[in-house]
Homo-oligomer: A and B are copies of this chain.
Amino acid sequence: MGRVKLEIKRIENPTNRQVTFSKRRNGLIKKAYELSILCDIDIAVIMFSPSGRVNHFSGRRRIEDVFTRYINLPDQVRDNAVSFPELPYRRGIQNKEYLLRTLQQLRSENDIALQLAKFV
């Protein structure tokens, strides 16, 4: 969709990479928004720009709630739902292990939140 056909590989020029990110980020979020409305579904998108800044979108629910809905699924359902399962890092994943690690990282924040909750 442009003057030339673009090969899908890392854009090496940092300026072009950031410009392309900005344009395509907007396009992707628009698509996610349209899909959430047209099909009346839960959707969440999280991405980090090349410079490390976070952007996210979610439709009807808060992103935390979509992720909760996701993480509460049985492991097998999550695993079967992976798009592009052929990507290298997915081989040999022990989903449970990574989930465990994630949850452990969440733990300290959980404790802090519980502390804060006492004063709410």
A41 and B47 contact, Cβ closer than 8 Å, known pairs A102-B68, A113-B100: yes
A8 and B38 contact, Cβ closer than 8 Å, known pairs A46-B44, A46-B67, A61-B89: yes
Within the complex, the shortest CB–CB distance from A108 to chain B, in Å, comes to 10
Considering the complex, give the chain B residue whose CB is closest to the CB of A35.
Answer: B24
Copies of this chain, count:
2
Within the complex, the shortest CB–CB distance from A66 to chain B, in Å, comes to 6
Partner-B contacts on A (CB < 8 A): 6, 8-11, 17-18, 20-21, 24-25, 27-29, 31-35, 37-50, 53-57, 59-73, 77-78, 81-84, 87, 89-90, 93, 96-107, 109-110, 113-114, 116-117, 120
